[in-house]
A and B are shown apart, each in its own frame.
Chain A
Amino acid sequence: MALNRGLVMEIKGGKGVILTRDGRFLKVRLPKGAEIGKEVNIPKTSFISYKPLMAVASLLVAVFAWFAFQMATPAASAYVALDINPSIELGVDNKDLVVSARGLNEEGKLLINSIKYKKKPLDQCLSEIINSAIQSRYLSPEKDNLIIATVTKTDQHSPVKKEISVDSIYTVIRQPIKDNGIKAELVVSETEPKVLKNARKIGTTPGRYLIQQEAEKKGIKISNKDLRENKIRELEVSQHIRAAECINNADPGTISGWDDKINKKPTFEKNGNNNNSADSKNKMDQKDLKTKNSNGFTKDNYGTEKKYGSDTKNNGSKGVKDEPIKNNIKPQKGNNVFINHNDKGTPEKEADKLKADKLKDDLGEFNWSVIMTKNKMGLNEFTESENEQYGNQQEKNKAQDPDHVKDQEKPGRKENYHGKRQDSANEPGYQKELETIQDYFKNLIKGNENNNKPRGETN
């Protein structure tokens, strides 16, 4: 350390003024035993002039901060990127704790600011983000929701825990969506570190980057800004692409599926007791549909989740994940029309089901028109109960009209037109109207029982 030799001129406490050999008067911290008139050696650092010290200190702080940032970033052994529409990137260390989080677009930044993510387990953090997105109405029942999650393992050597697998993330994200009764398409995929690197270059998530890449293969250009800030659904519409398909093309191991309320209801095809002509036709139609969906995007509206391509293409996917539906029977608005529809077993209930199916069968045309009218009139409150009818109706229509296949693919889009029904669901007016409708249907069922008994029995 450089020394400054100087003559002690003045002593005040531990400090003093020295006169150095080059004619400077300096305020310094004096060593012990210093006396006025003695020459002392002063290390340069004990100058009391704080200005250069401050400059050095602030520089050090900046350098340290930079290093800390550098250290913190590679500390993540995996990155999980979410596109809800807010795009968020979470860095996860090898203990599955979230060590960093970045918003990759404006909404993402807002969202991440509302969450304390530091050192939280990944699954907890993910659910918080999804819940927050639901609260902020990025995800809401009336929207056509799409969530893309990508996992990128940067550290290939360290054993990455099970929690950062495609499957577990799928499950974790699915849970809050399910709990909130939101219908969403969920795509979870694993990407190469290279993809993450490229995505970072344009400041977005690997998911969006893949969409851009795949779109480009098809000759569709998406600008980086659009890619960052626009909703993926909007991109899908404006660029005529399918996001899920794009990502699936890039990574065959992608899991995707739909989560919505309808999932919780049994499908008609699974209800073996109701083999009436319409249902069997339905079944056939559905199979038809699946084969027709040659792009590999299979989604049936009735509660099966499938891995991509498992039905039609089988392009290296991990196999069919055909979950039977869990019948958690919360009384749901949609179920009210068909009393205890979900419960199998007791003869009484079986009878109810019969009634219900008959109703569907017989009143298909009729309900269709009712729904249409209501939509036109803006009476959106009934969508939940109608949805089932509506879907059923669509199936039928499609059987007759192949043009409807596309509609069947994206039933959620239809739902967009129903507006803000969910908000008013708890209002007394709604309940009252629901009851009237229920009564109306019940009456119809009774009427059917009386008039069409022979038909019901033949089935």
Chain B
Amino acid sequence: MLLGDQFESRIAAIKKGDKVSREQLIAEAKPFIAAVTGRLCGRSLNWESDDELSIGLIAFNEAIDRFNIDQGVPFTAFARLVIRSRVTDYLRRESRWNKVDLASQDSAGMLDNSADYAASWDQYVSEIVDRERKEEIQIFSDKLKHLGISFSDLANVSPKHKDTRETLICAAQFIVQSNFYPELLKNRKLPLKEIAIGTGISRKVLERGRKYIMAVSTLLYYRDEFIYLKSYIKAPQRGV
């Protein structure tokens, strides 16, 4: 699931008819699609032999068309949602038990482009999104608890100034990229010295933003799990 952050802007271009970009994006997204579908099916899949992956690929293409940036859902999350939905439908249709009835009707309904359908689809998306977000938050909360951090702690320490926040996010990125995170998880302590040397951020700032850095680095380290939450943490333009 190696999807970058710049998806949203690329999709805007694709929607305007940039076919080359679309092909490019789908090609890049293949591992992501494989991962999502594979997890859903509970086994590793092969592009040559498994239909599920083709369904996933078509679903990803559909996701590009359907994606609406105003919904406030990260594209990764949206694409995953669409892929899962379509693959599940496919599996139902294929399964012996549900071969005949509702599944086919459902699928037929899905392809209908009426306003009714659009509304129910939106509702479906938002329900799923809410649920998935809630799950993410729960996981995040547990991970933070392990580090001895609560959300209200974060609210108290989270820096008010954008610059400070970006600095701390840089530090968190540094931790993840330099593989300090497992160490952090073990010690429940920030390797202040290393970060200070590696990023040039003063110790004082790091110490003050200690909890915020730990929380953000958690999100970044498990970025595949925190698709939604990670989208709230904007990486600053300057690199580390």
Provide the residues of chain B in CB contact with A9, threshold 8 Å: 137, 140-141, 151
Cα of A21 to Cα of B230 in the assembled complex, Å: 10
B20 at the interface (CB under 8 A from A): no
Cα of A7 to Cα of B140 in the assembled complex, Å: 13
Excluding A23-B216, A36-B138, 11 further A-B contacts by CB distance (< 8 Å) are A5-B72, A9-B151, A10-B150, A10-B152, A17-B154, A21-B234, A23-B232, A25-B154, A37-B135, A37-B136, A39-B72
Most buried by A among B132, B216, B232, B233: B232
Among residues 104 to 152 in chain B, which have CB atoms less than 8 Å away from a CB atom of chain A? 130-138, 140-141, 150-152
- Are A22 and B152 CB-contacts (below 8 A) given A7-B228, A35-B130? no
- Chain A interface (Cβ < 8 Å from any Cβ of B): 5, 7, 9-10, 12, 17, 19-27, 35-39
Cα of A22 to Cα of B169 in the assembled complex, Å: 11
B197 at the interface (CB under 8 A from A): no
Provide the residues of chain A in CB contact with B131, threshold 8 Å: 37
- Find out whether the CB atom of B169 lies under 8 angstroms from the CB atom of A25: no
- A5, A10, A24: which contacts B151 (Cβ < 8 A)? A10
- Are A22 and B229 CB-contacts (below 8 A) given A36-B134, A39-B72? no
Interface size class of B (residues with CB under 8 A): 20 to 34
Cα of A19 to Cα of B233 in the assembled complex, Å: 9
The stretch of B32-40, B78-86, B157-165 in contact with A is: B157-165
- CB A107 to nearest CB in B, in angstroms, measures 52
- B132, B140, B150, B162: which contacts A22 (Cβ < 8 A)? B162
Cα of A310 to Cα of B187 in the assembled complex, Å: 101
- Find out whether the CB atom of B130 lies under 8 angstroms from the CB atom of A7: no
- CB A13 to nearest CB in B, in angstroms, measures 12
Provide the residues of chain B in CB contact with A12, threshold 8 Å: 152
- Find out whether the CB atom of B137 lies under 8 angstroms from the CB atom of A37: yes
- Find out whether the CB atom of B155 lies under 8 angstroms from the CB atom of A26: yes
- CB B171 to nearest CB in A, in angstroms, measures 13
- Minimum CB distance partner of A27 in chain B: B155
Provide the residues of chain B in CB contact with A39, threshold 8 Å: 72
Main secondary structure on B side of the interface with A: helix
- Find out whether the CB atom of A22 lies under 8 angstroms from the CB atom of B234: yes
Provide the residues of chain A in CB contact with B155, threshold 8 Å: 17, 25-27
- Find out whether the CB atom of B151 lies under 8 angstroms from the CB atom of A37: no
- CB B157 to nearest CB in A, in angstroms, measures 8
- CB A321 to nearest CB in B, in angstroms, measures 74
Cα of A25 to Cα of B215 in the assembled complex, Å: 11
- Minimum CB distance partner of B140 in chain A: A9
Provide the residues of chain B in CB contact with A22, threshold 8 Å: 162, 165, 234
- Find out whether the CB atom of A7 lies under 8 angstroms from the CB atom of B232: yes
- Minimum CB distance partner of B231 in chain A: A21
- Find out whether the CB atom of B130 lies under 8 angstroms from the CB atom of A10: no
- Find out whether the CB atom of A7 lies under 8 angstroms from the CB atom of B133: yes
- CB B53 to nearest CB in A, in angstroms, measures 30
- Minimum CB distance partner of A39 in chain B: B72
- CB B217 to nearest CB in A, in angstroms, measures 13
- Find out whether the CB atom of B152 lies under 8 angstroms from the CB atom of A17: yes
- Minimum CB distance partner of B232 in chain A: A19
- CB A30 to nearest CB in B, in angstroms, measures 13
Provide the residues of chain A in CB contact with B137, threshold 8 Å: 7, 9, 36-37
Among residues 162 to 180 in chain B, which have CB atoms less than 8 Å away from a CB atom of chain A? 162, 165, 169
- CB B73 to nearest CB in A, in angstroms, measures 9
Provide the residues of chain A in CB contact with B216, threshold 8 Å: 23
Provide the residues of chain A in CB contact with B140, threshold 8 Å: 9
Most buried by A among B72, B151, B212: B151
Cα of A436 to Cα of B154 in the assembled complex, Å: 95
Provide the residues of chain A in CB contact with B212, threshold 8 Å: 25
* Listed A/B pairs (19) with beta-carbon separation below 8 Å: A7-B133, A7-B137, A7-B228, A7-B229, A9-B141, A10-B141, A10-B150, A22-B165, A22-B234, A23-B158, A23-B232, A24-B160, A25-B154, A25-B215, A26-B155, A36-B138, A37-B130, A37-B135, A37-B136
Cα of A447 to Cα of B212 in the assembled complex, Å: 113
Most buried by A among B134, B136, B212: B134
Cα of A382 to Cα of B124 in the assembled complex, Å: 109
Cα of A7 to Cα of B136 in the assembled complex, Å: 11
- Are A37 and B158 CB-contacts (below 8 A) given A9-B141, A19-B229, A23-B169? no
- Are A23 and B141 CB-contacts (below 8 A) given A7-B228, A10-B151, A37-B131? no
Provide the residues of chain A in CB contact with B133, threshold 8 Å: 7, 37-38
- CB B77 to nearest CB in A, in angstroms, measures 12
Provide the residues of chain B in CB contact with A19, threshold 8 Å: 229, 232
Cα of A347 to Cα of B142 in the assembled complex, Å: 116
- Minimum CB distance partner of A37 in chain B: B134
Cα of A12 to Cα of B232 in the assembled complex, Å: 22
Provide the residues of chain B in CB contact with A24, threshold 8 Å: 158-160, 165
- Minimum CB distance partner of B212 in chain A: A25
- CB B141 to nearest CB in A, in angstroms, measures 7
- B138, B151, B169: which contacts A17 (Cβ < 8 A)? B151
Provide the residues of chain A in CB contact with B141, threshold 8 Å: 9-10
Cα of A27 to Cα of B156 in the assembled complex, Å: 8
- Minimum CB distance partner of A21 in chain B: B232
Cα of A156 to Cα of B32 in the assembled complex, Å: 85
